[in-house]
Structure 1
Amino acid sequence: MAGITPSKHHETPFKRNWLVTALWVLVAVYLVYSFQAMGVSWTRFSEGLGHAGQLFERMFPPNFSRWELLLSGLAESLEIAIIASVSGIVLSLFFGLFAARNLMPDWVTVPMRGFIALCRTFHPVIIAILFVKSVGFGALAGILTLVVASIGFIAKLFAEAIEEISLKQVEAIRATGAGFVSLILFSVMPQVFSRFIGFSTYQLDSNLRNSTMVGIVGAGGLGGTLFSAFQRFDYDFVAAILITIIALIMFGEFLSNIVRRIFR
């Protein structure tokens, strides 16, 4: 058009943000430093692949001759996971309600949220070590460990789900003069029940995995059998245990799918 002079300088549509660039450079420098500080190198990785190949050669074929010991550890892991899941789910139901800020006052929700955060602060192995030192070796330590882990996960997500509900249903039930229990049963739970089932089935699946892990530190289950087999360099029996653990996790996944279909 007449009267408009073209600009001599073409501005790029994507301007460089020097702060972001500097941050990426710092991240790259830190990664290089971390690799060097920890002694991570391609040589160690390639040597590790060679050792892994030798380990797999010794693990196959799997040895199921001690199937009684295997089934005993498997049964104990199942018992630990199911007892801990049921107990943790029931406790999380109440803790999640008390932690919901749209239902409870601050003097209730703040300490409850602090307790829930404390439950998920440490890895289950660390919690298992503490319980083993407290109540001794065996399944009780494993159950208590997974109960704590369940509360840390389910109660947090359940409280957040309650805080996202529609308050119109709550006010409608409250207008009828219903008490607090009726308010929870008929206005809160119908809105979050399907999500609560999803959280619970996921935690059951997680507890099935963790029940085999906490046994490594003496908290019962198949993990103790696995750790003993590693100590004896009994790698063909280790392979049998690992296959059993995979079967246990697949069973948990199958069970979770059934529960989701029922309550969908």
Structure 2
Amino acid sequence: MSTADLQVRLAAARSGHWRPRPWIASPAKRLGLILLLVVYLVLALASVEINWERVAEGLGRGLNFITAFIQPDFTSRWGDIVEGIKESLTMTFTSTVLGVVLAIPVGLGAARNLAPLPVYLFCRSIIAISRTFQEVIIAILFVVMFGFGPLAGMITLAFATIGFMAKLLAEDVEDINPGQVEAIRATGASWLQVMTYAVQPQVMPRLIGLSIYRLDINFRESAVIGIVGAGGIGATLNTSLSRYEYDTSAAILLIIIALVLMAEYFSSHVRKWVQ
């Protein structure tokens, strides 16, 4: 940029008339890109087959579902709701504990600064497989293997927890201060002593915080995977929706929202206490 151009911009800025240069300087190119975008959107919308009669019917049902939140029904299926909440909480705590316990060795093996290359590649493969598929897809597989019920949901959430926790733990281990590790190794400490006195103090607060965060995620996911038959409150919600019992569905969703808010409040306090 020349000095003259700089002076012109400074003068325009002082007078309040300066504007930054556009991303595409040529007006013709800008107009051409806008036209291409409009044409693409028109073609994309035209390729979507929309049944407007079904949309009109769905709007009416959607309105009925929204109005059901004004008067939710907590009483007619209260027993089923309580049973579904118990299943979801059991699935959540069990899968989180099991997943975190299994994720610790996988996460340590996936840290390049600690594990040899074959172990590193093997553990990274486990993480990649666990994180490739969404929980609903995994739940469908385990429902086929173990049948309908909370067992399939618990295994699904534990499997997802392993990939989530192991990846973040491995990244934390790779970012630790290497000076502490070298200092412990210089004393002739064993591998277990290095893990206990050099690695564990640096990653434990983060691990506890992530575990509580994953507990919150698992409860929300338990409501989703229940729709495909993996038990929990999601199965109760799916049943009420299939019967068009929108007032009961609204009650279940309100309970789920309340429990998630309580879990978020609790986890935030625990993370502050740990840190």
TM over 0.5: yes
Q: 1:34 to 1:153 in 2, by over 3 A?
A: farther
SS in 2 for 1:120: helix
Residue 237 of structure 1 aligns with which residue? 248
Structure 2 match to 1:52: 62
1:136 aligns with 2:143: no
Distance 1:23 1:161, change over 3 A: farther
RMSD: 3.0
Task: For 1:34-183, list aligned pairs within 5 A.
Answer: 34-39=44-49, 51-58=61-68, 60-65=70-75, 66-183=77-194
Where in structure 2 are there 5+ consecutive unaligned residues?
10-19
Instruction: List alignment gaps of at least 5 residues for structure 1.
Output: 1-5
Report the Cα distance in structure 2 between the residues aligned to 1:102 and 1:204, rounded to whole angstroms.
28
Partner AA of 1:224 in structure 2: A
**Corresponding residue SS for 2:231:** coil
For the residues of structure 1 that align with 2:22 and 2:252, how far apart are their CA atoms? 56
1:216 aligns with 2:227: yes
Tell me, in whole angstroms, the C-alpha distance in 2 between the residues paired with 1:181 and 1:24.
61
Structure 1 residue 60: deviation in Å?
A: 3.8
Tell me which amino acid in the other structure corresponds to 1:170. Answer: V
Q: Which TM-score applies when normalising by structure 1?
A: 0.86
Report how far residue 230 of structure 1 moved: 0.9
How big is the shift at 1:251? 2.2
Residue number in structure 2 paired with 1:3 = none
Q: Partners in 2 of 1:151 and 1:42 — Cα distance?
A: 44
CA distance in 1, matches of 2:56, 2:224: 28
CA distance in 1, matches of 2:72, 2:163: 37
CA deviation digits over 1:162-181, x for unaligned, max 9?
11111111000001111111
Aligned partner of 1:246 in structure 2 is 257
CA drift at 1:53: 2.1
Q: Which residue of 1 aligns with 2:239?
A: 228
Amino acid at match of 2:137: I
Percent of aligned pairs sharing the same letter: 45
Distance 1:25 1:121 in 2: 37
Q: In 1, Cα distance between the equivalents of 2:248 and 2:22?
A: 59
Letter in 2 for 1:67: W
TM-score w.r.t. the length of structure 2 is 0.82
